[in-house]
């Protein structure tokens, strides 16, 4: 008999524990609570992402692993969504919103009986989330690991001769600015390439030439796609754009010969002619991709996943080189 009483009591205890993670029930005398969530999308109260949805979890761990959501709601065009709960016993809920550009937001909200709580999710231009409610400032230049609309990188054109970095580099009065202007879908961004040539007069097309392409970031790969038609028109990528350009930016950093890099402190590489904040790059972050062939021109690209392209150039079989160095905007 004692065993039966013990088992009966244990079942009551377990069932009461289970009720704490259930926010809705059929009790005759329920306690009601609700939460209203407002999503502000890139400083615009009107949402333009039809796929955006909000998941609600009982614990932060569930929100992190996206398991056992207790509710899924979709905001309206004003960014508002409301969810009601019965028999509130948890106290806190965890709100997760996955956004392809701005990252994954996770925030906590307290539920109070007979009270409507209010929760604000702000997807602001130039910031992103990493499974938290703390905004992280995104890089200003076009980043491979965190691309966002509004990022802009500027490069100056140079040419020279001799070995990769030992020869003198002469700069031309020409620059290229790359800017992400629109997010499309599936990791695809529309990028405008603006070429300014100071040799051209204001009457000569204003000295400005604009081109565009689609950059797709997909699991550590950057693909260059045509914006219109079948051809990619890019001066920055040059002839590489014609061969179906792909860059594996998740590659391991490249070991450099000392002659290639000048005046580098221990643990760093420094381009001897780049007096820039990103001229000093930690050894573990600087990468080089090349297709060196002694019988044909080679294309070399120096980058970090965080900062994007730092230096790109063509290296000819006659030891001539021409390309672009990143500069401050």
Q: How far apart are CA 64 and CA 119, in angstroms?
A: 19
pLDDT of residue 168: 66
Q: Please give the model's pTM, rounded to 2 decimal places.
A: 0.74
Q: How far apart are CA 114 and CA 112, in angstroms?
A: 6
Query: Which residue bears the tokens 């672009």?
Result: 324
**Number of domains composing the chain:** 2
pLDDT of residue 257: 45
pLDDT of residue 130: 95
CATH for 161: 2.40.360
Residue 6 lies in a domain: no
Both 186 and 316 in a single domain? yes
Query: Is the separation of the CB atoms in 123 and 109 below 8 Å?
Result: no
Number of H helices, E strands in the chain: 2, 21
Q: How far apart are CA 279 and CA 326, in angstroms?
A: 9
Both 187 and 66 in a single domain? no
Both 115 and 229 in a single domain? no
pLDDT of residue 288: 62
pLDDT of residue 272: 43
- Taking the chain (329 residues) in runs of 10, the rounded mean pLDDT of each run is 48 40 50 88 61 91 95 89 78 92 93 90 92 94 92 89 61 88 90 81 59 90 84 80 78 53 48 44 56 63 84 75 83
pLDDT of residue 258: 46
Query: Which residue bears the tokens 């260059």?
Result: 224
Cα 118 to chain centroid distance, Å, stands at: 28
Q: Which of 137, 172, 190 is the last residue of a domain?
A: 137
pLDDT of residue 153: 95
Residue 292 lies in a domain: yes
Both 31 and 124 in a single domain? yes
Residue 22 lies in a domain: no
Name the DSSP letter for residue 139.
Answer: P
60 token code pair: 């932060």
Residue 254 lies in a domain: yes
- Which domain, by its residues, includes 178? 152-327
Q: Which of 88, 112, 137 is the last residue of a domain?
A: 137
Both 217 and 249 in a single domain? yes
Q: Which of 137, 171, 187 is the last residue of a domain?
A: 137
Residue 7 lies in a domain: no
Both 54 and 163 in a single domain? no
Query: Which residue bears the tokens 């007979």?
Result: 114
């Amino acid at each position: 008999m004692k065993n039966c009483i013990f088992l009966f009591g244990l079942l009551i205890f377990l069932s009461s524990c289970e009720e704490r993670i259930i926010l809705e029930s059929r009790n005759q005398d329920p306690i009601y609570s609700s939460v209203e969530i407002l999503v502000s999308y890139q400083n615009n109260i009107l949402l333009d992402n039809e796929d955006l949805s909000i998941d609600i979890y009982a614990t932060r761990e569930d929100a992190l692993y996206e398991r056992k959501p207790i509710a899924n709601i979709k905001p309206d065009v004003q960014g508002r969504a409301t969810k009601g709960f019965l028999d509130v016993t948890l106290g806190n809920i965890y709100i997760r919103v996955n956004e392809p550009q701005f990252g994954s937001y996770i925030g906590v909200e307290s539920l109070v009986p007979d009270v409507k709580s209010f929760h604000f999710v702000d997807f602001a231009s130039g910031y992103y989330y990493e499974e938290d409610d703390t905004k992280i400032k995104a890089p200003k230049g076009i980043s491979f690991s965190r691309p966002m609309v509004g990022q802009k990188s500027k490069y100056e054109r140079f040419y020279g001769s001799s070995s990769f970095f030992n020869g003198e580099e002469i700069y031309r009065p020409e620059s290229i600015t790359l800017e992400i202007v629109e997010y499309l879908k599936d990791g695809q961004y529309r990028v405008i390439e603006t070429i300014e040539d100071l040799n051209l007069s204001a009457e000569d097309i204003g000295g400005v030439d604009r081109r565009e392409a689609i950059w797709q970031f997909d699991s550590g790969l950057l693909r260059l796609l045509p914006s219109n038609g079948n051809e990619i028109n890019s001066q920055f990528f040059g002839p590489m754009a014609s061969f179906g350009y792909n860059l594996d930016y998740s590659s391991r950093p490249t070991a450099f010969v000392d002659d290639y890099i000048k005046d580098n402190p221990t643990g760093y590489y420094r381009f001897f002619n780049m007096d820039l904040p990103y001229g000093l790059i930690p050894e573990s972050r600087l990468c080089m991709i090349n297709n060196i062939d002694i019988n044909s021109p080679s294309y070399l690209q120096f980058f970090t996943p965080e900062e994007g392209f730092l230096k790109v150039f063509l290296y000819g079989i006659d030891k001539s080189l021409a390309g672009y160095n990143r500069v401050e905007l």
